[in-house]
Amino acid sequence: MSKIKTAYFCQNCGYESTKWAGKCPGCQQWNTFVEELIQKDAKKGGAAGATDWQTYHEVPVTSRKIQPLHSVQTQETIRVQTPDEELNRVLGGGIVPGSIVLVAGEPGIGKSTLFLQMGLQLTESTVLYISGEESEQQVKMRADRLGMKNEHFYLLTETSTQAIFSEIKKLKPELIIVDSIQTLQSPFIESSPGSVSQIRECAAEFQQFAKETNTPVFLIGHITKEGSIAGPKILEHMVDTVLQFEGDRHHVYRILRTLKNRFGSTSELGIYQMNESGMAPVRNPSEILITQKEEALSGTSIATIMEGARPLLIEVQALVAQSVYGTPQRTVSGFDLRRLQLLLAVLEKRGGFHFGVKDVFLNLAGGLKVEDPSIDLAVLVALLSSYEDVPVRQEICFAGEVGLSGEIRAVSRIEQRIAEAEKLGFARIVVSKYNQKIAGSKKYGIEVVQMGQVEEVYRYLFS
């Protein structure tokens, strides 16, 4: 009788050790090691160790030889286009055959609904939906609610990877959706489902399947209470694409953001609207990110930002109030707090505004988290508008980065930003004068106002 083997795994990064340690050598975190049962000898051969892909799926063994790089033949990747334009965008133009995609998000955010909807829409492909969390009846009820039918859509409720691959061999699907990777269990690892070793082993088996059969696989995953993807960090390294599903369950809008993509840009996002019939892609997100107001209010401005290759117009809301405590508050939503403190310091030093005795609250409408530095100018204008209690004219939008000396710096892709503002009916856009060559090379139907210092913007808007 073989001896039961155990190992210790870090629950944060997946580091494996033969003995327990208080501090993980991999990620430097304390008290993250947990003992798990393993049985690695089963993989070395025999009937019990039939985890080889060739044994499961009758895939011929190919020999790999060393060859010079210049002799490697390349060809354009043919992507599978889905009816969902937002999903095509975040994937880099469509589904790449043989790719493995990890999708993570909070419970109830709509991950299962979105990819069940995608599978039902692909009527020309054989799709297998593997559910380890729900029964056939629950999945069928959701499909009925979506109001979609697909004769080539198949469902399997199973958690054992050996049974799953046996069914895959019979069906030979063209696309696989796994919901979720944390519920699967490989028979060659003795630990419970959801453990570090199980997640890593199950993901490795699906990765090998995807690469050797050229079949795309979508893995739906959980996230921890800290907001990171559950399981070892190596899980994100194993897959080709990582998508994060964000949003508030109490709001109708959801954001699908690309965190990693070996086949496209990592700064793309897709916006969806949750309704009774599933996830509806938002064609023009700029319209929903700008609040329609009957009268102008102080403390609001419109920023022109870029998310990947997509220009967006978003409303920035600021509230500056007299502090009632000894230490003024700084509260932000969707914006970097340290960046806000930097802009307040610029206004204090260069403009003489006394924000040091004021509470400052900043919010980006729509639940977006923006890292584009071109939003600086709109944030600064919203702060000044609330400070002076003077509204900014609604037909003006802004695009510019603010430097420490109070200068307005040039931003990239200024033509696309101006075109988007013009399409939405804005009359003026304030940009950096250092974008003069770019912005002045074309005639627009919108007035392009070019400025170089924060003082000029203040005089232009509030004098």
Binding residues for ATP: 105-112
Task: List 177's β-bridge partners, or say none.
Answer: 129, 218
The residues, any chain, with a CB within 8 Å of residue 311's CB and separated by 6 or more, are 286, 304, 305, 413, 416, 417, 419, 420
| CB 165 within 8 Å of CB 137 | no
Say how far apart CA 438 and CA 132 lie, in whole Å: 54
The residues, any chain, with a CB within 8 Å of residue 360's CB and separated by 6 or more, are 318, 319, 320, 328, 329, 330, 331, 340, 344, 383
Show the beta-strand stretches assigned E in 283-343.
300-307, 310-322, 330-333
Say how far apart CA 9 and CA 197 lie, in whole Å: 8
Q: Which residues belong to the annotated binding site?
A: 105-112
For 399, the 3-state DSSP assignment is strand
* Residue 62 amino acid letter: T
Say how far apart CA 246 and CA 241 lie, in whole Å: 16
The helix-helix angle for 111-121 and 136-146 (nearest 10°) equals 70
CB atoms within 10 A of CB 427: 14
| CB 378 within 8 Å of CB 303 | yes
Token representation of residue 156? 């399997």
Task: List 255's β-bridge partners, or say none.
Answer: 246, 271
The helix-helix angle for 337-346 and 376-388 (nearest 10°) equals 60
* CA 103 to the chain's CA centroid: 9
The residues, any chain, with a CB within 8 Å of residue 161's CB and separated by 6 or more, are 184, 185, 186, 187, 202, 205, 206
Say how far apart CA 90 and CA 259 lie, in whole Å: 10
The residues, any chain, with a CB within 8 Å of residue 357's CB and separated by 6 or more, are 322, 323, 328
CB atoms within 10 A of CB 67: 8
